[in-house]
Every structure is written in C-alpha cells, then in structure tokens.
Amino acid sequence: MDFSYSEEQNDIRNLAQQILGDQCTPERLKRLESEGRHFDKELWQALCSAGLIGIAIDESLGGMGFDYESLCILLEEAGRTVAKLPLLPVLVGAALPIQKFATADQQKVLLPGIASGEKLITWARIEPDNEDPLSPAVQASADGDNFLLSGRKHCVPVAAESDHILLAARDAAGETLIALIDPKQSGVSIRPQLVTSGENYYELSLDSVSLPPQSVLARGSRADEWLAFAERHYQTGLCAMAIGLCDRMMRMTASYTTEREQFGRAVATFQAVGHRMADCFKDVECLRLTTQQAIFQLGADAGKAEEAVTVAKIWCGDVCHRVSQAAQHCHGGIGVDRDYPLFRYCLIARQIELTAGSSAALLQSLGDNIADAAKSAA
C-alpha cells in the first residue's frame, strides 16, 4: 500500500516548514516568553498570507479547500517547532465544525474572517469538575426568544484575543446547544490561568449572558453531533501535533548524544543509549500510523471513528511521556536548562498527554466499549 502524501500535500508541508522554521527560532520563542506573549500574532498573519490558516476551509469561503489530513500536516509541523499558535482551538475546534454543521449564511459570516486572519474564534471545550466535554454543564435558560447563559469554562486558549468564543450549553429540557458569544459582552468575564506549557489560558465565567437566536449555531441532536465531531477531530489533531513534537525531541536527542563524548567516545555509541533511541523511533512511528488510521476513519465515516481515535490518543499520551522522559534522560542535566530548547517540548508533551483524556482513562473507556459490544453481540 502507498502511504505517501500527494504532491499538493508535500507542498503544504514544505511551505509550513519554511515559514515556521524561519520564525520559530529558540531566540524568538524566548523573546516572546519574556514579553509574556503566548500567541505569536505576526506568525499567525504570515500563515494567513500564505493561505495555511484557511487550509481546510472551502475555497468559496476564502480558504484553500484541502481536507483534514492536510490540516494535520500543518499541525504536525507546528508541533515540530513548538509554535505559539492556537491552531487546534481555532481551526479544529471552531472552523471545522462550523463548516460541517452551521448554516450556509453562518459559514459566510464566520469562516472567511478566520481564513484571512481578520477574525479569531476559539473553542471553550472543558469545564471545571466536568470530565465529559460532550455533556456540558453550562446552563441556558429561556428568556423570551433569547437564552441566558450561566456557568464556567476553563483553560480556554486565546479567549482574551478572540472576537468570538464557541461553547456548548444545556437548556432546561436537557438539550445541547452550540453558542457563539462575544467575550466583551455584558456578563462575560475572563481570568488568566497558567497551564502546564507555561502559557496563559483563561477561565470563562458566564453570568446570565444574553444569547440571541442568531448566535445559536446548533441545537438538539445536531448539537450533539457537532460536539462529538469536534472532540474526535480535536483528539486526532493533538496526535498530529504530538508526532512533530516527539519526532523533534527524538532527533534533538540523537544529535546531542552524537556530539557529546564520555570516556573518549560519543555517548550515542553506548548500547543503552542506542536502545533508548531505537525505542523512541518505534514509538514515534507507531504514533504516526495510529494517527493516520484515525484520520482515515474520520474521513471515511466520522460517526464510526471513535475506536480508531481513542487508540491513537492512547498512543499519543504514552509516546509523549516516554519520548520526553528518554530525551531528558539522554541529555542529562542540560535537558532542563531553559537556555536549551528541549524544556519547551517536554512541557507541551506533558500538556498534550493529559489533554482530551489521559491514556489510562481512555484505555478504560476503550475496554468498557469492547466489553459492552461483546455483551450486545452475545
């Protein structure tokens, strides 16, 4: 079987590598961190100008019209350079489901601005004390033709910089609805939250926020489908980003151990180090294959891709953990030095490992689903 990418997809990778490689240097990342900037707006605009932000947005809506697999190539390269960009919440959490489930008029209002960089829409996917993003606890109470939203979301990326925030809520009848709110409107407050990677995300508090009918993008079963679609693609997007991240950690470590000498020889020639790096290589390739399978299943039938996505995310969490641990071990003390770039990769690897389900939790869920299927078939 031929697993190679198309010529157009290779062009996308080359273009992404060129832009991200030129601008995501350790010196630039260090400067952004010293300034407290966790969103590289200049780089975002450069990607917009190159058409990459609109890579999976339809051409009629200002995008390039490529598929989700092509978007995952961009995510992989962003992970490889630890770019300070909200690609997952904006392009996967917001733009993809808007294009899939919103009305044609809503798409025309929202998506061209994302593709051009004129508009930023993020996704508020998780809530405090609620481990299931498919069952929102934010309440939507009726107020005439409008709704009033009350509740909290947390760890929302770029909430302060966004024009709109996409979130899920539940009405009095127990139906899910997908809402689009303005973070500056009355009743909305945001508070910075420091996350594992060192970035500032935000807690979003909603106190009787008025939601007009036109700001409800989906409701009922369609909203449930929206959430499931967004969550599966978000998990797979994390896996794609982890491929680039872990591959770069592995290659950085291989280069370092080749150059560092001990007892008159490069430490890479020691059998224990060689075995450790071989294990990293196998891990990264297994993550790549399970992610490709999940992407394929999402493209073939997103409604039946849950198992493939879960398997990929289990591998993602385990590989992020093992490769970052091996990289630190083989680097010795320099691996935690903030003048050396490895620490950024390890912090983001840890964040990806625990985002959208840890490996242990997902493995339990996978086992439960297999057991339930066996009982149903009996």
* Residue 188 · residue 182 · CB < 8 Å: yes
Provide, for the chain, the percentages of residues in helix, strand and coil under a 3-state DSSP scheme, each rounded to the nearest 5: 60, 15, 25
Is the per-residue pLDDT at 183 higher than 80? yes
Q: Are strands 146-156 and 200-211 parallel, antiparallel or unpaired?
A: antiparallel
Q: Give the distance, in angstroms, between the CA of residue 131 and the centroid of all CA atoms in the same chain.
A: 17
Global pTM value: 0.95
| Contacts with 241 (C-beta within 8 Å, 6 or more apart), sequence order | 75, 76, 78, 79, 87, 88, 352
Q: Where do the domains of the chain lie, and which CATH numbers do they carry?
A: 7-119 (1.10.540.10), 124-219 (2.40.110.10), 223-377 (1.20.140.10)
CB atoms within 10 A of CB 135: 14
pLDDT of residue 17: 97
Catalogue the E-assigned strands of 110-268: 121-124, 139-143, 146-156, 164-171, 176-181, 188-194, 200-211, 216-219, 261-262, 265-266
Q: Mind listing the pLDDT tens digit for each residue in 346-363?
A: 999 999 999 999 999 999
Tell me the mean pLDDT in the region 320-339: 94
SS (H, E, C) 278-290: HHHHHHHHHHHHH
Give how far the C-alpha of residue 88 lies from the chain's centroid of Cα atoms, to the nearest Å: 4
pLDDT score of 1 more than 70: no
The 10 Å Cβ neighbour count of residue 164 is: 19
Letter for the amino acid at 58?
A: D
The token duo for 346 is 């390890």
Cβ-contact 261, 267 below 8 angstroms = yes
Task: Please state the rounded mean pLDDT for residues 171-186.
Answer: 95
Instruction: Give me the mean pLDDT over the 308-332 stretch.
Output: 97
Question: In the prediction, which pLDDT does 267 show?
Answer: 82
What are the tens digits of pLDDT across the range 89-132?
A: 999 999 999 999 999 999 999 999 999 999 999 999 999 999 89
CA distances 290 to 295, 308, 359, Å, are: 9, 7, 14
Q: Which of 36-50, 85-99, 251-265, 275-289 has the lowest mean pLDDT?
A: 251-265
